Amino acid sequence: MDIREKIQKVGVVGCGTMGSGITQVCAQSGYETIVSEANEELLKKGIGSIESFLNKGIERGKITQQEKESTLAHIKGVTDLGYFSECDLVIEAASEDLNLKKRILADLDRICPEHAILGTNTSNLCIMELAATTKRPEKVLGIHFMNPVPLMRLVELVRSIATRGDILAMVKEFTKSLGKDYIIASDTPGFIVNRLNSPFMLNAIRMFEAGIGSIEDIDKAATLALNHPMGPFTLMDFSGLDMMYSSVKQRYEELPIPEFMPPPLLKRMVHADRFGRKTGKGWYEYNEKGEKIGSLKLGDLG
């Protein structure tokens, strides 16, 4: 199968952390890529983050100036979903809000051509429930990229009970054309990756609450003893505690097992607007350059 004959133009809904990364890897792989945002300010910020990432790649000798220019030339930023009417594949990368994703997929179903595949980058939500908002549930599946998208090789493909086999096969080939590898997960809470990772991170919070170790030492144990690229607290700050809390709550509602129960401290961190790097405070505190300058201590909890 020559996937580039089947999929020529890709759409991405959302140009935040995940959406901008998905847009970048699609454009870098030579796909004409349309990315949408709610307004021009968010769109400019998202495309700016892509350019910044590419500039760092040039500094590190990973890409050339010509490759950067080619990537940006393959990207078209819009604020109107109507531009997706020519896309063969659209991936929504909005925040983990079930009703928001349902509205987006319903709009895409109305706008996109009949043959178009609709993907959702959800890390947690029920694919079948999302697909049911469209008239093409057989062409809807989960296409869950890992964060940061340009650096992480894995894509988790999630097939609902309605997804056709040939659609899954096409998306497998598309994934490989991006230089990524894939796994196939069933449509269950957390799929594979977060079914493994969420209990690990939630247990790290419980260990900190119990005074077993400091945030820094728990992170150091994960990186130096378990060989993880970053510790659980650093990862939570990077991904956003607000997003994590929302996902964990939804997962626990559908599958109420103890390891998915969000610790009380996570809820309080979110209500204190300690979302992580994006707010300058999470488990760690950050300066304007995004460098760690301190961390939460047990004595700070009151």
Which CATH number do you get for residue 34? Answer: 3.40.50.720
Q: Indicate whether 224 and 87 sit together in one domain.
A: no
Which of 163, 186, 209 is the endpoint of a domain? 186
The letter for the amino acid at 25 is: V
Tokens, residue 189? 């809470």
What average pLDDT score do residues 276-291 get? 95
Q: Indicate whether 91 and 217 sit together in one domain.
A: no
What average pLDDT score do residues 70-78 get? 98
Reported as half-sphere exposure (CB side, CA atoms, 13 A), residue 141 has a value of 27
What average pLDDT score do residues 234-239 get? 94
In the predicted structure, residue 1 carries a pLDDT above the cut 90: no
Domain that includes residue 92, residue range? 3-186
How high is the pLDDT of residue 289? 87
Q: Indicate whether 198 and 177 sit together in one domain.
A: no
Query: Can you tell me the distance from the alpha carbon of 226 to that of 206, in angstroms, rounded to the nearest whole number?
Result: 18
Q: Indicate whether 9 and 106 sit together in one domain.
A: yes
Q: Indicate whether 141 and 258 sit together in one domain.
A: no
Among all chains, which residue has been given the structure tokens 């992580």? 276
Contact call for residues 116 and 140 (beta carbons, < 8 A):
no
Q: Indicate whether 164 and 22 sit together in one domain.
A: yes
Mean pLDDT for the chain overall: 96
In the predicted structure, residue 220 carries a pLDDT above the cut 90: yes
Structural domain count of the chain? 2
How high is the pLDDT of residue 120? 98
The letter for the amino acid at 203 is: N
Q: Indicate whether 13 and 95 sit together in one domain.
A: yes
Q: H helices of 29-156, where?
A: 40-59, 65-73, 98-111, 127-131
Q: Indicate whether 46 and 141 sit together in one domain.
A: yes
In the predicted structure, residue 96 carries a pLDDT above the cut 90: no
C-beta pairs of 184-188 under 8 Å, 24+ apart in sequence: 184/157, 184/158, 184/159, 185/142, 185/156, 185/157, 185/158, 185/159, 186/158, 186/159, 187/126, 187/127, 187/128, 187/142, 187/158, 187/159, 187/160, 187/161, 188/255
Q: Indicate whether 217 and 258 sit together in one domain.
A: yes
Contact call for residues 23 and 74 (beta carbons, < 8 A):
no
Q: Indicate whether 147 and 85 sit together in one domain.
A: yes
In the predicted structure, residue 301 carries a pLDDT above the cut 90: no
What average pLDDT score do residues 19-31 get? 98
**Residues labelled catalytic:** 123, 144, 156, 194
The pLDDT confidence band at residue 26, using thresholds 50, 70 and 90, is very high
Tokens, residue 239? 């991904």
**pLDDT of 105-129, one tens digit each?**
999 999 999 999 999 999 999 999 9
What average pLDDT score do residues 259-266 get? 95
In the predicted structure, residue 179 carries a pLDDT above the cut 90: yes
